[in-house]
């Protein structure tokens, strides 16, 4: 419609003002919700041709369109803006065309598809996945689906932080206090078992620090001198020197963690095309650093540590190799980035990482640029806010994190309690019920997290998330199953729903509003992709569900006496269910057929 309107407005300017106007001067946008109309023409660029006031120019063009373009059923002028109303007949005709499209993503496709890597999850192998990881994984996975729907080639990647002093802490604690405990002997998931020893290390380490301080040592010196910390640093050096015993211990405990992670990823419904390990990429990073040192891009300090001077870029001095030759996080991130580009030649590499790492990614990009990697312009830090519970922040060292597995189980149990209370699943088998509880519980969790602007901090409230009313996943799922129920009844009554010619159908305002909202789906997906914001799509799914429920309550569907109007409403319901399903699928949320 925007294209047709543009041509008609150019025609109006030609006829009324005897002037040719270029496309860039015809600025059309959707009318704001607080004004009457469907499309708005910005009149100001046309004043050079009309030689008149914005109001008079708008009225003149509006009258011309009313007289010569029947699709325009009315207009109003607010200062320099001409708000045009499109006839109900056109919207009904357009709906028939929209309903015949093979895919709802056809209009999302970009002109120039790109190769995009999306990195998400990025766990440490010293603890299980927690609530913060859930937000990370859900954002990354939905971003992958949204970008893919727009025609980009998207590769899902994960970087596992499987080396470093924090990994050695859990290894050392198990070695000292574990007595040979394994996932099999304890009955614990491997990632939970390793996390247990990470917490135990911190507990014992704090006791050692307290003892040293009580003996007269200053706190900072005590932290550095505590025997456990000294042993952990020694273990890291042995690991980097390929000490067989340390490496074997590392491999064993990491294998426990990976098995645990796989279970959690499967529960969440996320996966990866390629997993990188920092135990491998740090070596590439060290080679890159040493090469850049030879080329005088980096400098060596008196203690032989290697640094990047980024003061000219408005940043700081950044350590890349310690004096003992061990690598830091930045070193391995350099290696990972170069390795990925050599493998995929990406246009963009999107890092889904919390906003506490904003400075880190500024530095990473600046160092790569300094080293001459022009593709570093394609590195994008998708900086998201922290997620907390109503009672406050989580601390993994103190064992106060909200475990991902426990939260998923709790959400499914809550979904079960709420669903059984509603009493609508009596004729379902036990297996069907459990599958519905799983979909509702995960849908509640995923939607509650994804509906929030990813750049904002958020508080996750499990009770609020599973409410069957309001802006929640279960409300949207219930709307979808309500439509499915209509079609099951239609099938029982022998009502056919294939009609798509609705000439002469008189649609009401609620139905027209629903058509207008359905029309916005592909645009919403595109905007979500461009802005890297699944929240835009999530809230669209809620708005569409809310609009449909209002229509459902106000208009009969199967009970409508006019067959043409009944079939129109059925097809309107069908398209709504398809768009809701597609939108929620892009968010990684499953939809039950009944609930």
Residue 103 has a pLDDT of 66
Which pLDDT tens digit goes with each residue over 421-438?
A: 777 777 888 899 999 999
Q: What CATH architecture is 404-586? A: Orthogonal Bundle (1.10)
Indicate the SS3 state at residue 300. strand
Helix (H) or strand (E) holding 404, with range, is helix 404-422
Q: What b/e readout covers 131-143, taking b as 16+ CB neighbours within 10 angstroms?
A: bbbbbbbbbbbbb
Indicate the SS3 state at residue 238. helix
Which pLDDT tens digit goes with each residue over 67-94?
A: 999 999 999 999 899 999 999 999 998 8
Residue 391 has a pLDDT of 67
Rounded Cα distance between 289 and 277, Å, is 18
Which of 382-396, 414-428, 482-496 is predicted least confidently? 382-396
Name residue, tokens 């005709």.
93
Residue 327 has a pLDDT of 86
pLDDT surpasses 50 at 399: no
Q: Name the CATH superfamily housing domain 120-388.
A: HUPs (3.40.50.620)
- 375 within 8 A of 364, measured Cβ to Cβ: no
Residue 105 has a pLDDT of 67
Which residue stretches of 1-87 are H helix?
2-17, 47-50, 54-68
Helix (H) or strand (E) holding 317, with range, is strand 317-321
Residue 501 has a pLDDT of 67
pLDDT surpasses 60 at 400: no
pLDDT surpasses 80 at 393: no
pTM strictly above 0.85: yes
- Residues composing the chain: 595
Name which of 505, 503, 502, 536 is nearest 522 in CA terms. 536
Which pLDDT tens digit goes with each residue over 533-575?
A: 999 999 999 999 999 999 999 999 999 888 889 989 999 999 9
Residue 253 has a pLDDT of 97
CATH number (3.20.20.140, 3.30.1360.70, 3.30.413.10, 3.30.1330.50) of 2-86 reads 3.30.1360.70
pLDDT surpasses 50 at 576: yes
What's the whole-number average pLDDT of the chain?
Answer: 92
- 331 within 8 A of 285, measured Cβ to Cβ: yes
Strand ranges in 540-584 using DSSP code E only, listed in sequence order = none
pLDDT surpasses 70 at 500: no
227-240 and 244-268 are packed helices; what angle lies between their axes, rounded to 10 degrees?
Answer: 90
**Domain boundaries of the chain, sorted by first residue:** 2-86, 120-388, 404-586
For the record, the structure tokens of 226 come out as: 């505590």
Can you tell me the mean pLDDT for 527-531?
96
- Counting DSSP H helices and E strands in the chain, the numbers are 22, 14
Q: What percent of the chain has pLDDT over 70?
A: 96
Residue 461 has a pLDDT of 84
Rounded Cα distance between 491 and 512, Å, is 26
Can you tell me the mean pLDDT for 145-155?
96
């Amino acid at each position: 419609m925007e294209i047709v309107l543009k041509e008609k407005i150019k025609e109006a300017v030609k006829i009324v003002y005897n002037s040719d106007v270029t496309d860039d001067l015809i600025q059309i946008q959707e009318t704001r919700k607080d004004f009457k109309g469907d499309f708005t023409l910005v009149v100001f660029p046309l004043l050079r041709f009309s030689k008149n006031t914005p109001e008079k120019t708008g009225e003149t063009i509006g009258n011309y369109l009313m007289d010569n373009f029947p699709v325009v059923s009315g207009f109003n002028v607010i200062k320099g803006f001409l708000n045009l109303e499109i006839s109900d007949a056109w919207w009904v005709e357009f709906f028939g065309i929209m309903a015949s499209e093979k895919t709802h993503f056809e209009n999302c496709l970009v002109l120039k598809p790109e190769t995009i890597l999306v990195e998400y999850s990025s766990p440490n192998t010293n603890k299980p996945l927690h609530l913060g990881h859930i937000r990370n994984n859900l954002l990354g996975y939905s971003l992958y689906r949204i970008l893919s729907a727009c025609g980009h080639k998207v590769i899902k990647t994960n970087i596992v932080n499987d080396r470093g002093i924090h990994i050695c802490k859990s290894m050392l604690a198990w070695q000292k206090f574990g007595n040979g405990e394994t996932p099999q002997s304890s009955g614990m998931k491997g990632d939970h078992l390793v996390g247990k020893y990470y917490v135990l290390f911190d507990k014992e380490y704090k006791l050692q620090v307290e003892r040293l301080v009580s003996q007269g040592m200053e706190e900072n010196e005590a932290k550095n001198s505590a025997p456990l910390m000294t042993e952990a640093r020694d273990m890291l050096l042995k690991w980097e020197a390929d000490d067989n015993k340390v490496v074997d211990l590392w491999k064993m405990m990491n294998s426990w963690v990976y098995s645990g992670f796989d279970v959690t990823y499967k529960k969440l419904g996320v996966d990866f095309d390629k997993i990188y390990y920092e135990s491998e990429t740090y070596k590439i990073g060290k080679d890159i650093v040493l090469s850049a040192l030879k080329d005088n891009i980096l400098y060596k300090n008196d203690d032989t540590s290697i640094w990047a001077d980024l003061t000219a870029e408005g940043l700081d001095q950044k350590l890349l190799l310690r004096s003992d030759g061990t690598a830091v996080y930045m070193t391995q991130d350099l290696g990972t980035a170069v390795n990925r580009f050599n493998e995929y030649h990406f246009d963009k590499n999107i890092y889904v990482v919390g906003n506490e790492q904003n400075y880190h990614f500024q530095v990473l990009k600046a160092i790569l640029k300094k080293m001459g990697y022009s593709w570093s312009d394609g590195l994008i830090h998708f900086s998201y806010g922290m997620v907390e519970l109503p009672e406050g922040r989580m601390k993994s060292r103190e064992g106060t994190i909200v475990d991902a597995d426990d939260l998923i189980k709790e959400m499914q149990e809550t979904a079960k309690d709420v669903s059984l209370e509603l009493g609508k699943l009596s004729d379902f088998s036990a297996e069907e019920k459990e599958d519905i509880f799983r979909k509702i519980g995960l849908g509640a969790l995923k939607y509650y997290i994804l509906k929030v602007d990813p750049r904002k901090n958020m508080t996750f409230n499990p009770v609020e998330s599973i409410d069957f009313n309001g802006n929640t996943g279960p409300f949207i799922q219930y709307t979808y199953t309500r439509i499915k129920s209509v079609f099951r009844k239609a099938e029982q009554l022998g009502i056919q729903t294939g009609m798509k010619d609705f000439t002469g159908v008189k649609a009401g305002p609620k139905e027209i509003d629903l058509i207008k909202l359905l029309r916005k789906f592909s645009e919403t997906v595109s905007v979500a992709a461009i802005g890297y914001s699944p929240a835009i799509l999530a809230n669209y799914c809620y708005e569409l569900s809310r609009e449909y429920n209002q229509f459902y309550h106000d208009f009969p569907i199967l009970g409508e006496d006019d067959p043409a109007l009944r079939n129109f409403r059925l097809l309107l319901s069908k398209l709504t269910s398809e768009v809701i399903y597609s939108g929620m699928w892009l968010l990684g949320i499953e939809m039950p057929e009944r609930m």
